[in-house]
Amino acid sequence: MCGIVAYLGKSDAPSVLLNGLRRLEYRGYDSAGLAVMDGGRMVVAKAPGKVAALNDRARADWPDERFNRAAAGIAHTRWATHGPPTEANAHPHLDNSGDIALVHNGIIENYRALRSRLEKLGHVFHSDTDTEVLAHLIGECHHGDLFRAVCDALHQVEGTYGIAVMSARDPGKIITARCGSPIVIGIGDGETIVASDAAAIIGHTRQVIYLNDRDIAEITAETVSIRDLDNVPVDREIAQLAFDASAAEKGGFEHFMLKEIHEQPEALRNAIRGRLDFHLGTAVLSGMGTSPRDLAEISRVVLLGCGTSLHAGLVGEYAFEDLADVHSEVQQAAEFRYRNPILGPHDMVVAISQSGETADTLAAVRESNQKGAFVMGLCNVVGSTIARETGRGVYLHAGPEISVASTKAFTCQVSVLLMMALKLGRGRRLSREEGIRLAREIESIPDLVAATVRQSDHIAEIAAHYAGHEHAFFIGRGPLYPVALEGALKLKEISYIHAEGYHAAELKHGPIALLEKGTPVIALANAVPGQDKTLGNIEECRARGARILGIVTAGDSRVTGLMDDFIEVPPCHPLVASVPSAVALQLLAYHIARHRGCEIDQPRNLAKSVTVE
Ligand code: G6P
């Protein structure tokens, strides 16, 4: 979603800002802009489309000296919410005087009321955005001190924000603040770089400060001073950024998505390493902060998430019920947060979020904390807001995920949920022998996934048969039902084929009416309990002319002759089978999208981290 970069140094601000924006491209956006201070003047360049278009625009409009000389600037990639992705709506936005420039992530909810008040005072607006209102409001509040002006303006807004503000009247400083939208400040040697995502900071420094909600910071090239919105100084510790710069490179792969699919065996090893105890037959997840007694008292597990993380939760639901004998349910975070959920101290809430910043999941965490539940995070990004606000939980250690379509985060989320369920199960009804057997199954996941990834070329050949279709159905049952949902999501995200995931039994309650000769049905037909029924559902589809692609267990003779194409995954435990099967569908979606010539890493309209409701 939207991205912020702001920079104060000695020179070269436009180049630094453009490089930072490129690092944020993976988040998804549809226009970009930057403003720099040049000889006491605010100079702005904006362009719809990609950062490359902004670069061309700035280089065409600005003389070389401006690129080399400017020492301060702010920049933004915008994912349209209020108004289409035009040049006028791109950030930065200026106040009425044109002296103050602002970039903003989040949504100013009371912008209409503020705008009409400001219009009455003579302010003239040039965009459809909520953000421009905040720029004008800061201008209205500016009586000689930019920090004060931003503080006063923020007191009047409702909604969420991460912002960076610069003024021609206050050279050499930038004000940044957050409420609900992340801001991280990188402290370099004679330079300070602010961003909404640490990815834009790597290459400059590893020393960072994460702002908390209601923090507002005044930065120069040498200093950072942070206060809260009530103007009280606050101390925020300096953290070390653990970010491997090579993670932000494609490393010889054509796309980040393909690279991340191939990284899965290693990512899964990192997620599992040191977390299985083969002697006691349990999982060692110290971040959960639970004693066996705490575990015994948990009467319900509530799994929260959005998108792919929600699908991981759906697999987890089966695991908690099966292994831990505990009532378990999955809730879409956006729905959960507004439905006045019934929660108490015996409910364990697991917030699943790769980024740890998804607005709805974060709000659901806050609601769960409020209601006194036992809340933990399952995040990939270390130090993310959900990880910090839950205070306990488990990190995935999957490494940075750049492709908008989530792959390695999903398989690591499922694997960690299996370990959580194993741990909970051992505190309840699972015997040591069963625990050891399951631990061995979980340990084998990286190898199962490696075997599936090795079939990439075979899957590419199959994909050619499906790339020309505009509709597809994915079916499965049991823990493979969420995999059907995830397979359909992957396909529609990156290939723009209309794909629906259904429980295999549900197809005949309506969707089967859409089957025609050749309609693709991708069936999770692994040799697991319930397979008989799924094979029956496949027959129903075949009878109506559908083209069947099966995900099957290697060596399973029961599926012979039932399918037009198949992808084999190694034999394994039914819960574990969800992981390699999902990988097969990731590769299928990837190769179909590639056959269709789609922009795989940055699909249209999508964002990596959804920081608005
Ligand atoms: C966006 C991304 C998805 C992701 C979802 C939840 O929609 O495009 O890939 O699954 O957000 O993100 P989270 O970071 O909370 O897992």
* Closest residue by Cα to residue 304 from 389, 382, 182, 217: 389
- In a 13 Å sphere around the CA of 325, the CA atoms on its Cβ side amount to 10
Contact 537, 512 (CB under 8 A): no
The CATH T-level fold of domain 250-443 is: Rossmann fold (3.40.50)
Distance from the alpha carbon of residue 549 to the mean position of ligand 1, in angstroms: 27
**CATH class for the domain made up of 3-247:** alpha beta
pLDDT at 66 over 80: no
Dump strand ranges (E) for 201-298. Answer: 207-210, 215-219, 224-228, 239-240, 276-277, 282-283
Which range has highest mean pLDDT (473-487, 505-519, 593-607)?
Answer: 473-487
What residue has token string 């539940």?
373
Q: For residue 233, is the peptide bond before it cis, meaning its omega torsion is within 30 degrees of 0? A: no
How far is Cα 86 from Cα 88, in angstroms, rounded to an integer?
A: 5
Residue whose CA is closest, atom 8 of ligand 1?
608
Q: Which of 306, 413, 486 to mutate to test the pocket of ligand 1 (most atoms within 8 A of CB)?
A: 306
How far is Cα 390 from Cα 395, in angstroms, rounded to an integer?
A: 12
Supply the pLDDT for residue 242: 73
Supply the pLDDT for residue 335: 93
Strands 31-38 and 72-78: antiparallel
pLDDT at 555 over 70: yes
- In the chain, the largest separation of any two C-alpha atoms, in whole Å, equals 79
* Closest residue by Cα to residue 28 from 477, 599, 564: 599
Annotated catalytic residue, options 173, 408, 423, 608: 608
What percentage of the chain exceeds 90 in pLDDT? 83
| Secondary structure of residue 72 in the 3-state scheme | strand
The CATH T-level fold of domain 450-599 is: Rossmann fold (3.40.50)
- The answer, yes or no, to whether any atom of ligand 1 lies below 6 A from the CB of 160, is no
Q: What are phi and psi of 347, to 5 degrees?
A: -95, 125
Range(s) of the chain covered by CATH 3.60.20.10: 3-247
- The answer, yes or no, to whether any atom of ligand 1 lies below 6 A from the CB of 609, is yes
Contact 5, 24 (CB under 8 A): yes
Strands 215-219 and 161-167: unpaired
Supply the pLDDT for residue 244: 66
pLDDT at 247 over 80: no
Q: Which residues contact 112 (CB under 8 A, 6 or more apart)?
A: none
- In a 13 Å sphere around the CA of 576, the CA atoms on its Cβ side amount to 22
- The answer, yes or no, to whether any atom of ligand 1 lies below 6 A from the CB of 91, is no
Confidence of residue 175 (pLDDT cuts 50, 70, 90): very high
Q: What mean pLDDT is reported for the chain?
A: 94
- The answer, yes or no, to whether any atom of ligand 1 lies below 6 A from the CB of 412, is no
Confidence of residue 295 (pLDDT cuts 50, 70, 90): confident
pLDDT at 50 over 70: yes
Confidence of residue 608 (pLDDT cuts 50, 70, 90): confident
pLDDT at 245 over 70: no
pTM: 0.85
Instruction: Write the DSSP symbol of residue 527.
Output: S
- The answer, yes or no, to whether any atom of ligand 1 lies below 6 A from the CB of 380, is no
- The answer, yes or no, to whether any atom of ligand 1 lies below 6 A from the CB of 378, is no
Distance from the alpha carbon of residue 389 to the mean position of ligand 1, in angstroms: 18
Confidence of residue 243 (pLDDT cuts 50, 70, 90): low
pLDDT at 341 over 80: yes
Q: What are phi and psi of 442, to 5 degrees?
A: -65, -40
**Atom from ligand 1 closest to the CA of residue 606:** 8
- Report, as an integer, the average pLDDT of 408-415: 98
Confidence of residue 31 (pLDDT cuts 50, 70, 90): very high
Per the model's pLDDT, the better-predicted residue between 560 and 575 turns out to be: 575
- The answer, yes or no, to whether any atom of ligand 1 lies below 6 A from the CB of 34, is no
* Closest residue by Cα to residue 582 from 610, 572, 399: 572
Contact 469, 519 (CB under 8 A): yes
544: which 2 tokens?
Answer: 């109506």
Concerning whether 2 is annotated as a catalytic residue, the answer is: yes
Model confidence pLDDT, tens digit, residues 306-329: 999 999 999 999 999 999 999 999
pLDDT at 294 over 90: no
Concerning whether 306 is annotated as a catalytic residue, the answer is: no
* Closest residue by Cα to residue 308 from 358, 364, 365, 258: 358
Instruction: Write the DSSP symbol of residue 412.
Output: H
Please give the C-alpha separations between residue 1 and each of 49, 79, 185, 224, in angstroms, as whole numbers: 14, 5, 19, 26
Q: Which amino acid is at 193?
A: I
Please give the C-alpha separations between residue 137 and each of 93, 148, 325, 430, in angstroms, as whole numbers: 12, 12, 55, 60
On the 0-12 / 13-18 / 19+ scale of CB atoms within 10 A, 456 is middle
Query: Angle at the Cα of 213 (from 18 to 196), degrees rounded to 5?
Result: 15
Range(s) of the chain covered by CATH 3.40.50.10490: 250-443, 450-599
Distance from the alpha carbon of residue 361 to the mean position of ligand 1, in angstroms: 10
Q: Which of 25, 355, 379 to mutate to test the pocket of ligand 1 (most atoms within 8 A of CB)?
A: 355
pLDDT at 67 over 80: no
Residue whose CA is closest, atom 5 of ligand 1?
307
- Report, as an integer, the average pLDDT of 587-606: 93
Helix (H) or strand (E) holding 500: strand 498-503
**Atom from ligand 1 closest to the CA of residue 28:** 8
Q: Which of 197, 308, 407 to mutate to test the pocket of ligand 1 (most atoms within 8 A of CB)?
A: 308
